[in-house]
Amino acid sequence: MFDKSTSLAAVIIFAIIALAAGCASHENAATKSAESHGGTHAATPAAFRVEFAANPVTIKAGEPAMLSFTVKDAQGAIARDLQIVHEKPMHLLIVSSDLAEFNHVHPTLQSDGTFKVTHIFPNGGDYTLYADFTPANSSQTVEQIAVKVNGNERVKQPLVADANLTKSVDGLNVTLESDKPLKSGGELMLNFKVADAKTGQPAMDLQKYLGEYAHFVIISADLKDFLHAHPMSQIEHGAAGGHQHAEGTKPHADAMTMASPSSVAAHTTFPQAGLYKVWAQFQRADKVITVSFVLDVASGEGMAASAGNAGHSQHGEKQKH
């Protein structure tokens, strides 16, 4: 027969075991809840992801670097058959941390299933790559990748909202007008009127670039919000009824052309308040002309609760080096 001290010890041991089991059960439940709500315990794997590599591994300013992108599905298989979107399977946007440098290039498919492009970074410092692609039978994806470039860094340029929204670049005068006040959360139309800088007349000789009269890229000052807009015809826009995207980054803003190639528009939504840089690209006389604007977007009604999560790239950021 056990004495009282033995019985008390047994009760304590049993209580400890029960408490540990309860904690384990609670932890499992918390983990499952975090998984279902996108928490940090165990994130749901993305449908598609990009494996990035550079050759040489250490990128140096002023020297060619081969940038390689391998798209893989959730099972790790290489996704080769990307949809052709505006004449290319992948659009790569390269910007410096202060958004002063901008490049729009197109990696090409290799025999091993990777997409590669050679690029020369003019300066040292931090850059962000946005790989924009659409896998077969899937939705569009934007992968955000941070890279560090060795070499002399230039003085960073402060991002300041433009007081004048008419810019003159390479013989074109481009004027940006919004059909509504610039506020976050609401749909609005950014209208671009393109005129010949010498005559002031509408530039009716614009050529199609990648199948359209203009392309638009919009990135927030903190690099988290990315929108890649292409004009659509009014017929296409009406048939699509406007594209709907999941909460977060809106990779392609809905857009449609106006009556003439000298007047194009992008239909979009700014996810949060703050400064955004807009690049509009046109082609004339076989030359691609890039015109940039900096917009100050005010806070829209009802955006306070979601502003902290809105506009982030779908798969977050991959840090290199």
**Alpha-carbon gap, residue 81 to 135, rounded angstroms:** 7
Asked whether residue 290 carries a pLDDT value surpassing 80, the answer given is: yes
In the prediction, which pLDDT does 267 show?
87
CB–CB of 187/179 below 8 Å? no
Q: Lowest mean pLDDT: which of 27-36, 149-158, 252-261, 284-293?
A: 27-36
In the prediction, which pLDDT does 20 show?
41
Q: Do domains 48-149 and 166-313 have the same CATH topology?
A: yes
Q: Tell me, rounded to whole angstroms, the distance of Cα 181 from its chain centroid.
A: 23
Asked whether residue 222 carries a pLDDT value surpassing 90, the answer given is: yes
Burial of 206: CB neighbours in 10 Å, binned 0-12, 13-18, 19+:
buried
Identify which of 106, 69, 102 has the alpha carbon closest to the alpha carbon of residue 86.
Answer: 106
For the chain, percent of residues with pLDDT exceeding 90: 63
CATH annotation of 166-313: 2.60.40.1220
Domain limits, the chain: 48-149, 166-313
**Alpha-carbon gap, residue 213 to 190, rounded angstroms:** 15
In the prediction, which pLDDT does 124 show?
98
Query: Tokens in use for 95?
Result: 């910007």
CB–CB of 272/307 below 8 Å? yes
Asked whether residue 152 carries a pLDDT value surpassing 90, the answer given is: yes
Distances (CA, A) of 155 to 97, 100, 128, 267: 11, 10, 17, 34
3-state helix, strand and coil shares in percent for the chain, rounded to the nearest 5: 10, 40, 45
**Fold type of domain 48-149:** Immunoglobulin-like (2.60.40)
Asked whether residue 240 carries a pLDDT value surpassing 50, the answer given is: no
φ and ψ at residue 162, rounded to 5 degrees = -75, 130
- pTM, two decimals, is 0.75
Pairing of strands 172-178, 226-229: unpaired
| Average pLDDT for the chain | 79
What would the mean pLDDT of 8-15 be, rounded to a whole number?
43
SS3 146: strand
Q: For the chain, count helices (H), then strands (E).
A: 2, 18
Q: Tell me, rounded to whole angstroms, the distance of Cα 97 from its chain centroid.
A: 14
**Alpha-carbon gap, residue 120 to 124, rounded angstroms:** 11
In the prediction, which pLDDT does 39 show?
28
What would the mean pLDDT of 186-215 be, rounded to a whole number?
94
In the prediction, which pLDDT does 235 show?
35
In the prediction, which pLDDT does 130 show?
98
Q: Which residue has the higher pLDDT, 304 or 118?
A: 118
Q: Which residue has the higher pLDDT, 5 or 154?
A: 154
What would the mean pLDDT of 256-266 be, rounded to a whole number?
68
In the prediction, which pLDDT does 231 show?
72
In the prediction, which pLDDT does 241 show?
40
Q: What is the pLDDT of residues 53-112, one digit of tens each?
A: 999 999 999 999 999 999 999 999 999 999 999 899 999 999 999 999 999 999 999 999
What would the mean pLDDT of 9-30 be, rounded to a whole number?
40
In the prediction, which pLDDT does 230 show?
66
**Alpha-carbon gap, residue 148 to 127, rounded angstroms:** 6
Query: Tokens in use for 157?
Result: 């340029």
Burial of 320: CB neighbours in 10 Å, binned 0-12, 13-18, 19+:
middle
Asked whether residue 140 carries a pLDDT value surpassing 80, the answer given is: yes
